[in-house]
């Protein structure tokens, strides 16, 4: 079995990822989720995990953002759109893709810390991989303006500096 891990341009690789997103989050499922009406940013980069004979199994989006923490500018690395095909779960693909995304942010050398948002059922997965809850307030843009973003729990990960655990973070754009 051959596993291929690629980090690709977000816009150019959407066509590859779209089918996986539709399989993991079909419209009838999304409609019932607490984040159903949220407009999300498009990924700057995508980590795609493909297995020979099985196709695309996993996706992790990488988002680069100049944001603000307690009014100070920071370089934030967003992780979002983590998706693994149902028949490929619990085989380590999400861990592989997440590790590749974090390593990409570290290698770029510009990110202060990483942030992701996750549903309660996924909290143990991220905590086991070193992510810490952010217990402050998050603000993000939406078509109707700047809003407090609390539909999905925020978690942070140290990259270049220790990630804050409290305070106010303004994403200065759409959430991921």
Task: Report pLDDT for 22.
Answer: 94
Task: Report pLDDT for 159.
Answer: 97
* Residue 45, burial from CB neighbour count under 10 angstroms (0-12, 13-18, 19+): buried
Question: What are 59's strand-pairing partners?
Answer: 48, 83
176 lies in a domain?
no
**Below-70 pLDDT ranges, the chain:** none
Strands 45-51 vs 132-133: parallel, antiparallel or unpaired: unpaired
154 lies in a domain?
yes
At 5-31, the pLDDT tens digits run 999 999 999 999 999 999 999 999 999
CA distance to 16, 59, 78, per residue, from 117 (Å): 23, 15, 9
Task: Report pLDDT for 1.
Answer: 74
Task: Supply the CATH number for residue 16's domain.
Answer: 3.40.630.30
124 lies in a domain?
yes
134 lies in a domain?
yes
132 lies in a domain?
yes
Q: Which range of residues forms the domain containing residue 62?
A: 3-170
Q: How many domains does the chain have?
A: 1
């Amino acid at each position: 079995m051959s596993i291929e891990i690629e980090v690709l341009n977000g816009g150019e690789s959407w066509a590859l990822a779209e089918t996986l997103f539709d399989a993991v989050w079909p419209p009838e499922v999304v409609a019932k989720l607490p984040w159903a009406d949220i407009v999300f940013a498009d990924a700057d980069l995508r980590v795609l995990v493909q297995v020979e004979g099985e196709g695309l199994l996993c996706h992790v989006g990488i988002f680069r953002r100049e944001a603000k923490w307690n009014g100070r500018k920071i370089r934030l690395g967003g992780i979002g759109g983590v998706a693994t095909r149902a028949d490929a779960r619990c085989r380590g693909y999400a861990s592989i893709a997440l590790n590749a995304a974090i390593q990409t942010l570290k290698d770029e050398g510009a990110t202060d810390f990483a942030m992701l948002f996750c549903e309660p059922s996924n909290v143990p997965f991220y905590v086991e991989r070193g992510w810490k809850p952010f217990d402050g307030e998050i603000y993000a843009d939406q078509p109707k303006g700047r809003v407090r973003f609390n539909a999905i729990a925020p978690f942070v990960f140290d990259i270049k500096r220790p990630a804050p655990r409290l305070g106010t973070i303004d994403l200065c754009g759409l959430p991921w």
